[in-house]
Every structure is written in structure tokens, then in C-alpha cells.
């Protein structure tokens, strides 16, 4: 990973110090419970990953923490410092949500502009270099590939420097090498922050997550967390990580589908 004198301030310089407790969460759409009685604690400064089959409710759970689920919703979110979570979250959606009329650089500094703050263009340029978009800073989103849009959205999320970061499949559109590079970048820039990340990739979850939960069933339930050892980004060739991958695939139902085949 490149490192320059202008490297953005890393989260470990200012770690997140409050736990976030979600209790008795319930979300229903059209009268059907996606989940109910769901509890999940995000420990201060730790990286939690959510895995599960498509449609199980991962994005809904992530969006619940972001306060973005509307309608038939109940439950509580409490921070251990007794300050509301609202306003302390950076959220990266599955869709890149880049504004089409703004350049990549202008999209990355959008948060500051909307808050009427002076954008830190130096930090934005550094992050664009880190995500491999230095030469695309002045392009509009329509001129980018899907993977480039996702990298721009990641740079915008990392730019925000919030204590809590929620990311929905942030690397899904990337080729394998860019995926590994950006996982490394995320691990480095987000170290010390409280992160919740949704992914379909068990190895990505084990590479980055301190706690990895599988969601299964309907209504959805959280399986007990798997807790890979050591600091992220972890070596995915490590035999212990590979054993945990097998465990996660088992929780996801791999044995059942092999049996069915």
C-alpha cells in the first residue's frame, strides 16, 4: 500500500469508543417479518461482517443501523456513551449513489459541501490515488465503469471519517486484484472504527471482520459469530481461515446443497 506524507488520518489515531446495541429489532414488509427479536451488538472499534443468502435481510439490517428503513419497524439502538447514533454514521449503499452532474472529485467531497464545510481536496486526491482513480478525478460518473464507480463511492465513504461505517457489498463490482487492494485500504483506513459490512464472500468477511455473522432463515436469525484471530487484512491462505471458511459455508447451507445435488 502506498503511503505518503499526505496520507489521510487513520482511524486508529482516533478510535471509536462506544458500543452500539441493537435490541429487539423487527422489520416487516407487506405484513411479513424479515426479522423480529433480533439483537446485535457492534463492539467499539471492531469490524463486523454479515453474510447470508440473497434476500435474507442483510441490507435491511444494515439500513436499520443507518436509520433508513421505513414502515413497520420497531426496536432500539443504544450507544454506550448515551449519545444518539444519528449523525455519526457513514453509509455506503449497494448502488453507488454518485451524483451524475458532479465529477468524481466533487462527488468524493460531497459530504463536506452539503455540510457547508471547506472540502479537504488534498485528502480527497490522496484517497482517489489510493483507490486507483487519480486520473479519473475530473470525469463524470457516466464515463466510469461499474468498478470505477464503486471505487469512487468507497473513496467518498472513507472521506467522511465518521466513527461508524456501514458498507453494503462495497467491493462486489471489482476485479480480484482491485478487490484485494481495496480490502487492504479499507482495513487500514478504517482500523479503530466501528464497521458493519455486508458481503457474499466468506473469505472477504474473514479477511476483514473481527466478528462474522451468518444470517439465515425466515424470519432471519443471526448465527453465533465466528471470530478470526489476528489483525486484518488477514492472510486468506492461512489454514485456520480456510477452516473458518468451511464453517461459514456450512452455516450458509453448503452441506445441504451438496446433499441435494
Choice between 47 and 64, CB closer to ligand ATP: 64
Nearest distance from C-beta of residue 89 to ligand ATP, angstroms: 17
Residue 179, interface with ligand ATP (CB under 6 A)? Answer: no
What distance in Å separates the CA atoms of residue 176 and residue 1, rounded to the nearest whole number? 16
52 near ligand ATP, rule: CB under 6 A: yes
The answer to whether residue 54 forms part of the interface with ligand ATP (CB under 6 A) is yes
DSSP letters along 74-111, please? EEEEEETTSS-STTSEEEE-SS----TTS-HHHHHTHH
For the chain, helix (H) and strand (E) counts, in that order, are 9, 9
Shortest Cβ 34–ligand ATP spacing (Å): 5
Q: Of 56-64, 134-142, 155-163, 171-179, which part binds ligand ATP (CB under 6 A)?
A: 56-64
**Is residue 58 a contact residue for ligand ATP (CB under 6 A)?**
yes
Nearer of residues 54 and 231 to ligand ATP, judged by Cβ? 54
Of 95, 93, 75, 94, the C-alpha closest to 85 is: 75
3-class SS of residue 40: strand
Angle between helices 176-189 and 146-159 in degrees, nearest 10: 0
The size of the interface with ligand ATP (CB under 6 A), counted in residues, is 10
State which residue, 57 or 228, has the beta carbon closest to ligand ATP: 57
- Cα end-to-end distance, the chain, whole Å: 42
Which residue's C-alpha cell is 444519528?
A: 86
> Contact with ligand ATP (CB under 6 A): which of 11, 20, 22, 34?
34
Interior angle at CA 179, CA 203 and CA 244, nearest 5: 5
Residues in 60-119 that interact with ligand ATP by CB under 6 A: 60
d(CA 253, CA 261): 12
Beta carbon of residue 47, minimum distance to ligand ATP (angstroms, whole number): 18
- Told to check if 29 binds ligand ATP by CB under 6 A, we report yes
**Interface ranges with ligand ATP (CB under 6 A):** 29, 34, 52, 54-60
Amino acid at each position: 500500500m502506498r503511503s505518503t506524507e499526505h496520507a489521510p488520518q487513520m482511524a486508529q489515531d482516533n478510535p471509536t469508543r462506544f458500543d452500539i446495541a441493537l435490541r429487539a429489532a423487527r422489520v416487516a414488509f407487506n405484513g411479513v417479518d424479515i426479522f423480529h427479536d433480533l439483537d446485535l451488538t457492534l463492539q467499539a472499534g471492531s469490524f463486523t461482517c454479515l453474510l447470508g443468502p440473497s434476500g435474507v435481510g442483510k441490507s435491511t439490517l444494515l439500513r436499520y443501523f443507518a436509520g433508513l428503513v421505513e414502515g413497520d419497524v420497531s426496536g432500539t439502538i443504544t450507544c454506550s456513551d448515551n449519545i444518539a447514533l444519528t449523525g455519526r454514521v457513514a453509509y455506503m449503499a449497494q448502488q453507488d449513489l454518485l451524483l451524475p452532474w458532479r465529477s468524481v472529485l466533487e462527488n468524493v467531497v460531497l459530504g463536506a459541501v452539503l455540510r457547508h464545510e471547506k472540502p479537504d481536496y488534498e485528502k480527497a486526491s490522496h484517497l482517489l490515488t489510493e483507490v486507483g482513480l487519480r486520473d479519473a478525478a475530473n470525469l463524470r460518473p457516466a464515463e466510469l465503469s461499474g468498478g470505477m464507480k464503486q471505487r469512487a463511492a468507497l473513496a467518498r465513504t472513507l472521506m467522511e471519517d465518521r466513527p461508524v461505517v456501514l458498507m453494503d457489498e462495497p467491493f462486489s463490482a471489482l476485479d480480484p486484484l482491485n478487490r484485494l487492494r481495496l480490502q487492504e485500504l479499507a482495513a487500514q483506513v478504517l482500523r479503530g472504527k466501528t464497521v458493519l459490512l455486508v458481503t457474499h464472500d466468506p473469505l472477504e468477511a474473514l479477511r476483514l471482520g473481527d466478528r462474522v455473522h451468518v444470517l439465515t432463515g425466515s424470519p432471519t436469525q443471526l448465527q453465533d459469530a465466528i471470530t478470526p484471530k489476528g489483525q486484518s487484512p488477514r492472510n486468506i491462505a492461512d489454514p485456520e481461515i480456510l477452516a473458518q471458511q468451511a464453517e461459514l459455508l456450512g452455516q450458509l447451507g453448503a452441506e445441504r446443497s451438496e446433499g441435494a445435488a
